[in-house]
Amino acid sequence: MKIIIGVLVALAALILPASPALAQLGISPGSIDLRVPCGEYTLPSVTVRNDSDRAMDFEVELAGYGHDLRGSTEVLEPDTNPLSAAAYITFDPAEFRLEHGESQDIDLTVSIPEGTDGGRYAVVLVVGTPAGDEPIKTVSRLGVLVRLTITVSHLVQQGRILSIGSAPVESGMPIPIEVIYANEGNVHYRVQSSVTIFDAGGDVLDVVRGRLTMVLPGYSRELAADWIPDRELEPGVYDALARVSLEDGTLLAEAEGSLEVGMPYVPPASPVSITLSPASASILQTEDGRFSVSFPQGAVFSQVEISLRGYPLDQLAPPPPGYSLAATAFRVEGLPGLLAKEATVTVKYSPAYLERAESEPARLKLARWDEAEGRWTVLKTRLDREAMAISTTTNRLSIWAVMVAPPASINPALIGGVAAGVIVLGLLVYFLAVRRRTASLK
């Protein structure tokens, strides 16, 4: 009796190249997306290749085609798509065997009934099983996505926006803007979202555009885009107007929504780079001036490109005991070794940093992640209250974070000792004054 212990799936939109079995099998084309007339029509052939070291038996079948909110392909078994093409497609051959290095073409024909409108969808599945009588076998499933648009038919391209929102907003990271759009037409098409974001006064802060995305009829897609504000955001609710349009700009739907920022938000550092040479001093600085690294002349022995970019807070190692992360982190890279002369790293702080430091800027410290030791080093940090900046010197590049030091501790014993000394000194001064007064009366 045959025992099947594994099922491996590869579809045009969902390839699993890490699987050894699938890496040795091939199928093309990746997908079929055509405009076809009613009646009988010959589709492009599907070619299956066997580059494995054994003979494989294959069977061809049809399944339904759908996708989830993020666009990942869903193979529908049973086929529940009301606009399925499975009933219209025939194929030949239905079964075949391939030795090592052989390939096989599968001929596809579609017959569309007269009066059919819109689009039709299916997956051509090719199921491969190692030939022979081995008791343990692995089944491999490869697929080609079929999207057919029926010409000279009534095509409906319409839909609506179901929701507008954002994942939790985290300071120092891009803000993910999420628009859920439902295709309520009868054919697939590509759409693009644009979200206009307003401040509390109704002024436009930014317009965030997503990439073009294909949506099947009857399905919804998350049209996601990352927003990197060019300024800090105060806590509050920000109004948003979302629009979804076709590739040619035709408006399909619009809706109003909002985004909530729970804590003061600091945008990540904007990427910037310079070419550093030994002969001159240079400053690596972001466009907004919030982050800078000053290199003295002779900091490097040869010309090198140095870059600075934001670093996700959620990818940082935990801070040292008693410390907490402030509002942002960044990475300076381009030199694997040490600098010949120390550079100065400067960060301008803002109300968002001060809120985390409980309005005590002296608690803001610059910390460097030392990869060789696998630990944070909190460096001696200089505070410039007038410029609202903190800085430190370093002989190496790495990941940097602004951290909040624990509050200065109060030593009761030390306070008691100082108080006692003050009292004793006061008494001594008093008795000396009394003695001088008594002597003067005599």
166-176: b or e for each residue (b if 16 or more CB lie within 10 Å)? beebbbbbbbb
Answer whether residue 7 shows pLDDT above 50: no
Answer whether residue 438 shows pLDDT above 80: no
Given pLDDT bands bounded at 50, 70 and 90, which one contains residue 182?
A: very high
State both tokens at 216. 């099947």
Q: Taking residues 393-422, report their average pLDDT.
A: 72
Report the alpha-carbon distance of residue 349 to residue 356 in Å, rounded.
Answer: 11
Q: What is the largest CA-CA distance in the chain?
A: 135
Give the pLDDT confidence of 236-286 residue by residue, as tens digits. Answer: 999 999 999 999 999 999 999 999 998 888 898 889 999 999 999 999 999
Report the alpha-carbon distance of residue 141 to residue 127 in Å, rounded.
Answer: 4
What range defines the domain where residue 69 resides? 3-150
β-bridge mates for residue 104, sequence order: 48
Give the pLDDT confidence of 319-331 residue by residue, as tens digits. Answer: 999 999 998 899 9
Given pLDDT bands bounded at 50, 70 and 90, which one contains residue 81?
A: very high
CA 210 from centroid of its chain's CA atoms: 13
Given pLDDT bands bounded at 50, 70 and 90, which one contains residue 19?
A: very low
**Would you say residue 111 lies in a domain?**
yes
- Which of 269, 314, 310 lies closest to 170, judged by CA? 314
Enter the pTM of the model: 0.77
β-bridge mates for residue 394, sequence order: 343
For residue 392, how many C-alpha atoms fall within 13 Å in the half-sphere facing its CB?
17
Answer yes or no: do 130 and 42 share one domain.
yes
Answer whether residue 416 shows pLDDT above 90: no
Question: At 76, which CATH number?
Answer: 2.60.40.10
Which of 261, 288, 316 is the last residue in one of the domains?
A: 261
Q: What is the DSSP letter of 410?
A: -
Give the pLDDT confidence of 219-245 residue by residue, as tens digits. Answer: 999 999 999 998 889 899 999 999 999
Q: Helix, strand, coil proportions of the chain in percent (round to 5)? A: 10, 50, 40
For residue 354, how many C-alpha atoms fall within 13 Å in the half-sphere facing its CB?
12
Hunting for tokens 């099922």 — which residue is that?
Answer: 7
**Would you say residue 185 lies in a domain?**
yes
Report the alpha-carbon distance of residue 30 to residue 43 in Å, rounded.
Answer: 14
Q: Taking residues 185-206, report their average pLDDT.
A: 96
Q: Could you give the number of structural domains in the chain? A: 3
Q: What is the pLDDT of residue 133?
A: 79
**Would you say residue 326 lies in a domain?**
yes
**Would you say residue 182 lies in a domain?**
yes
What is the Cα gyration radius of the chain?
Answer: 34
Answer yes or no: do 285 and 254 share one domain.
no
State the average pLDDT for the chain: 88
Answer yes or no: do 288 and 223 share one domain.
no
Report the alpha-carbon distance of residue 144 to residue 27 in Å, rounded.
Answer: 8
